[in-house]
Structure 1
């Protein structure tokens, strides 16, 4: 039977299907996280191409790292705090997040790119140490924008209301800030919602028990 949105943790934990899917997605996320540093080091080492981008050519580059990560981490905090008491929504969000990362690894494999001209290095004090642990900064993880996609995925995962509106506003803000930083091409930002939609749809196909 479908898991209702109002499902509590004690009730969810009584379902073996829920326990299995939660354990599976957490295991897969940890496995992926263990491999990402090697993958992004490879992405950084290979040659790519520079894309023409009229918007970035017109837009002066500025360092807005502080504002960028303030919005990202506040948005993640809001999303996680909203999802933790809602096990059914949290489960789907985790599967969608896994799918989003796998899709991004695939697009990075297919589209080797050089950083946009005028790039101002975007320094993330957390991810740079845990995921992008490489001798040189990772600047070629471009298509598509993971920062933009993460907040949009959280906006889809939380219930409709003011939290979703805040996260949607944060998504637009992050998309604009990474362009001001010249950390992404315009195409990277515009493509992010397409892949978020695909990851979200796929997460709904993980089993008949996870319905919305």
Structure 2
């Protein structure tokens, strides 16, 4: 399906508008939301039995290597599949907005012995530092789930599933997220993805 054919769908056009508006929110409001809304807000500490099994270790390089490899592969994979580009981006931005809501409603304090993730890309856009309370639920696992769900190649999909599982474990090991953050992320992302797929039109064939 070409872009011209896809854009005949009203729901797809609205999805693109939603993505553009969400992008503006992410660029211009998200840093303020993290730094001035969530950070000063008191949260709850969780006694996470699973995290207590691990002595924190900095896995940032490995975590972001898997994420960026997956993103680059996905760009090549969906380059000629505009429907999945729209579906993937709409899912990503919808989940991002949901995360903003859950972070505000269910504010968690990070684990005391948390080791901050160091993302070489995001620090270019947010040079003032990382955000400790980017907790419920995991954006990294959610992003990986989006990449899994729009992948059509079964072998690449299996690799991404493996990466997603590994990233979840490493995030817990580094004490970046509580177990509940990691487990909820793929569930919410999957619900959003399949809901949007239905809204955008199950009859649309790529």
Q: Normalising by the residue count of structure 2, what TM-score does the alignment of the two structures yield? A: 0.89
Corresponding position: 1:38 with 2:32:
yes
Q: 1:186 is matched with which residue?
A: 179
Separation of aligned partners in 2, 1:155 and 1:123: 23
Separation of aligned partners in 1, 2:123 and 2:192: 24
Report the CA distance shift for 1:62/1:158 in structure 2 as closer, same or farther (over 3 A). same
Separation of aligned partners in 2, 1:192 and 1:210: 28
Counterpart mapping for 1:57-72 below 5 A: 57-72=52-67
Corresponding position: 1:117 with 2:112:
yes
Separation of aligned partners in 1, 2:194 and 2:12: 21
Separation of aligned partners in 1, 2:97 and 2:43: 20
Contact 1:204 1:211 in 2 (8 A): no
Contact 2:84 2:150 in 1 (8 A): yes
Q: Secondary structure at the match of 1:184?
A: coil
Q: 1:4 is matched with which residue?
A: none
Contact 1:99 1:202 in 2 (8 A): no
The match for 1:103 among 94, 98, 101 is 98
Q: Normalising by the residue count of structure 1, what TM-score does the alignment of the two structures yield? A: 0.86
User: Offset at 1:98?
Assistant: 1.4
Separation of aligned partners in 2, 1:171 and 1:82: 18
The match for 2:167 among 169, 174, 185 is 174
Gaps of 5+ in 1: 1-6
Corresponding position: 1:8 with 2:17:
no
Report the CA distance shift for 1:26/1:74 in structure 2 as closer, same or farther (over 3 A). same
Q: 1:150 is matched with which residue?
A: 143
Gaps of 5+ in 2: none
Q: 1:55 is matched with which residue?
A: 50
RMSD (Å), alpha carbons: 2.1
Q: Secondary structure at the match of 2:141?
A: helix
Q: 1:126 is matched with which residue?
A: 121
The match for 1:17 among 5, 10, 14 is 10
Alignment coverage as a number of residue pairs: 203
Contact 1:9 1:85 in 2 (8 A): no
Separation of aligned partners in 1, 2:179 and 2:31: 25
User: Offset at 1:49?
Assistant: 1.5
